[in-house]
Structure 1
Amino acid sequence: MIINRKYFPFIIKNSSKTSFLKIFLTKNKFKRFFNSKKDEKKNKQNNKSIKRYFGKEDQEKQNKKIPELYFEARGCSIGHPNKKNGGEDSFFISKFSIGVADGVGGWSRVKGGDPGRYARELMRYSKESIESSQNNPIDVLQYAYQKTDKSILGSSTAVIGILSSNCFSNPQKIKNSRNIKSNSNTQKSNQRKKAFFIAANLGDSGFKVIRNKKIILSSIEQTHGFNFPFQIGKNSSDKPSDADLYEIEVEKDDIIIMATDGIFDNIFEREILEKIIEYQKESNQKELNQKELNQKELNQKESNQKELNQNQFSSNQKELNQKELNQKELNQKELNQKEFWGEKLSKDLANLAIEYGKNPNYISPFSVNALRNGYFYKGGKLDDSTIIIAQLKELI
């Protein structure tokens, strides 16, 4: 019998026999079989297309979804007193992200070296990446690393933090995930608006998360050896993917401190915390006093206006309208008078780090760390000092 290969293209080997088992199908049966396979393949392709489409759409929706909280943040950067160019640190602040970079100073001693420019470009492109809806800080760092001019003779440490409405999509990638629970009771905690703070840290800059006057999360510095931090840039084998990734659920009024080693090498953690508590207390008391003063002014104003009204009917209506107007003015006045305590504190801490850095007899965090690593070092470590203080506020 002659087999027409157009309709019967199959020859299946029978593993239990040495001969071949030939499969014969009728023309009609084969057509149905072939068409069903063709349709099945087509459906699979369509399903893949649908999945790709909706997957992309869902991702876009997720990217567009903003968290319930935002950063009220201020930053300050003070260069090493001996550096005419203002130092090699850089930072950025936006509504939902913060970042700092510390250009490695050793490059400034190399002809044509410019670590400050490298750090500035790194932060500029990091912010650009976040504004284009990227919410993975390691991917942000990778984008900035690729975009930064490769001809620049410089390298930098970096830390980037992003507020997200969702937890990180791939928790397995998180190298230093911390499961932190709120100290408040569950019922109260569930009523508070929340977001996720996701951060990538590469090198010896870092961050701390503070809640209810306690530090609940601190990044760990990355070093190859004492005073030799991880860094990305010229002639460095470190990559953005080497950064440690952190994730924590944050709440309204949580505080995040992000800074370069110029701060953490000179000011102990406990002193930073004490300063935050002190400045917050002063700010709250000042705000309370101002509210009382404004209320007294409002009451006096309403009392004077009431005496001027003559007609009882028109007086009631005027009083009502004027009261609403006065309240609006009061609210606007309080808004204008309100200052974020973090602005003054960031400046004071940056200046304090410089002051400690100049003191040859000061027992600094850097000198303690040197001793732990078998080195003797006395005094502060004078360096560029950059710090961001951010408090989480409710998005109205």
Structure 2
Amino acid sequence: MGVSDGVGGWAKYKEADPALYSRKLMHYASAELAKLDDFLESEYSADDYYAVDPKEVLQKSYDQTNKDVVAAKLLGSATALIAVLRDDELRIANLGDCGVLIIRNLEPLFRSEEQQHSFNFPFQLGTGSRDSPRDAQSFSVKIQEGDIVIMGSDGMFDNVFDEDVVDIIRKVLKKTGCTNHPSDVDPKKISDALLARAWEVAEDSRYGASPFQTRAIQEGLYFHGGKMDDVTVLTGVVRLSEDSPDRR
């Protein structure tokens, strides 16, 4: 799974298209992973498939995206987060302020941290940025059946506290009858519920609290309520599969 969020600060520049930059990053990352999945038809091997490093995937995606950007004379930049599952290991590369939260038994198991040069100024890939994929954080998390993986842009995690994410998941599991079997839940129902909550907070400047408000106050800034932003949410539910591809 992957999330990339175009940096909105480019809006005032006519030639800029950070949304396109972020889409290209994810497009080429997906294409690179597809080559690994079909290594018999590509330059990769079974060893490459199992040894995949999401940071290397991000680097190749970044290089190809920059070729397109130079050719089209576009401006833009984006944050990026990629997670790849191999056996019982979730490998993560994160650059910027997108986030990943892993829930096990309705308790947070893992949470990535934001990468920022200063408040609300995230690490980013693209025009004018000195950041590169090698600056991305790398994590490896052992997972098991029933774990729930939440990935999102800062518009998600700036508006919904982690404890609220857990509470929302609890409600979805109860409503769908999956409390005792979280691996059976429909991931889309969780994503929809989280998206609705993030958007509800973002639209309400009078809302009592938000993670972004908390961090702004810590920086000595006045800010009240949610933060209006684009919101992307992805949910993955870890399940055992009897139909795993034969990699011999």
Q: TM-score, normalised on structure 2?
A: 0.85
Label 1:286 to 1:394 Cα distance change in 2 as closer, same or farther (>3 A): closer
Report how far residue 247 of structure 1 moved.
0.4
Give the gaps of 5 or more residues in structure 1.
1-97, 166-194, 289-338
1:378 to 224, 229, 235: 224
Give the gaps of 5 or more residues in structure 2.
37-48, 243-248
**Do 1:370 and 1:376's aligned partners in 2 also have CA atoms closer than 8 Å?**
yes
Label 1:259 to 1:286 Cα distance change in 2 as closer, same or farther (>3 A): closer
Superimposed CA distance per residue, residues 14-52 of structure 1 (whole angstroms, 9 cap, x where no aligned partner): xxxxxxxxxxxxxxxxxxxxxxxxxxxxxxxxxxxxxxx
Letter in 2 for 1:374: G
Superimposed CA distance per residue, residues 109-155 of structure 1 (whole angstroms, 9 cap, x where no aligned partner): 21111000000000000111112226201001000000012332110
Distance 1:354 1:109 in 2: 24
The 5 Å alignment of 1:110-149 reads 110-133=13-36, 135-148=52-65, 149=68
Residue matched to 1:348: 193
2:76 to 154, 170, 174: 154
Distance 2:225 2:171 in 1: 26
Report how far residue 340 of structure 1 moved.
4.3
**Do 1:358 and 1:380's aligned partners in 2 also have CA atoms closer than 8 Å?**
yes
Residue matched to 1:100: 3
Deviates more, 1:339-348 or 1:103-112: 339-348
Report how far residue 344 of structure 1 moved.
2.1
Residue matched to 1:305: none
Superimposed CA distance per residue, residues 233-292 of structure 1 (whole angstroms, 9 cap, x where no aligned partner): 11100000000000011111111000000010011111110111111122226999xxxx
Distance 1:156 1:124 in 2: 13
Report how far residue 158 of structure 1 moved.
0.6
Report how far residue 354 of structure 1 moved.
1.6
Report how far residue 347 of structure 1 moved.
1.7
Superimposed CA distance per residue, residues 347-383 of structure 1 (whole angstroms, 9 cap, x where no aligned partner): 2321221221111111211010011122111121010
Superimposed CA distance per residue, residues 85-106 of structure 1 (whole angstroms, 9 cap, x where no aligned partner): xxxxxxxxxxxxx000000011
Aligned residues: 221
Label 1:285 to 1:201 Cα distance change in 2 as closer, same or farther (>3 A): closer
**Do 1:280 and 1:341's aligned partners in 2 also have CA atoms closer than 8 Å?**
no
After TM superposition, where is structure 1 displaced by more than 3 Å over at least 4 residues in a row? 285-288
Letter in 1 for 2:192: K
Secondary structure, aligned partner of 2:84: strand
Distance 1:114 1:371 in 2: 31
Distance 1:138 1:223 in 2: 18
Report how far residue 345 of structure 1 moved.
2.4
The 5 Å alignment of 1:162-173 reads 162-165=84-87
The structure number with the bigger radius of gyration is 1
Label 1:139 to 1:355 Cα distance change in 2 as closer, same or farther (>3 A): same
CA RMSD of aligned residues (A): 1.9
* Identical-residue share of aligned pairs (%): 38
Distance 1:368 1:117 in 2: 31
The 5 Å alignment of 1:82-101 reads 98-101=1-4
Letter in 2 for 1:364: S
Superimposed CA distance per residue, residues 34-93 of structure 1 (whole angstroms, 9 cap, x where no aligned partner): xxxxxxxxxxxxxxxxxxxxxxxxxxxxxxxxxxxxxxxxxxxxxxxxxxxxxxxxxxxx
Residue matched to 1:395: 241
2:215 to 361, 366, 369: 369
**Do 1:268 and 1:365's aligned partners in 2 also have CA atoms closer than 8 Å?**
yes
Superimposed CA distance per residue, residues 194-250 of structure 1 (whole angstroms, 9 cap, x where no aligned partner): x10000010000101111111111001000000000000111000000000000111
Secondary structure, aligned partner of 2:238: strand
**Do 2:4 and 2:25's aligned partners in 1 also have CA atoms closer than 8 Å?**
yes
Label 1:236 to 1:286 Cα distance change in 2 as closer, same or farther (>3 A): closer
Higher relative helix content: 1
Label 1:281 to 1:239 Cα distance change in 2 as closer, same or farther (>3 A): same
**Do 1:150 and 1:234's aligned partners in 2 also have CA atoms closer than 8 Å?**
no
Deviates more, 1:278-287 or 1:105-114: 278-287
Deviates more, 1:220-229 or 1:355-364: 355-364
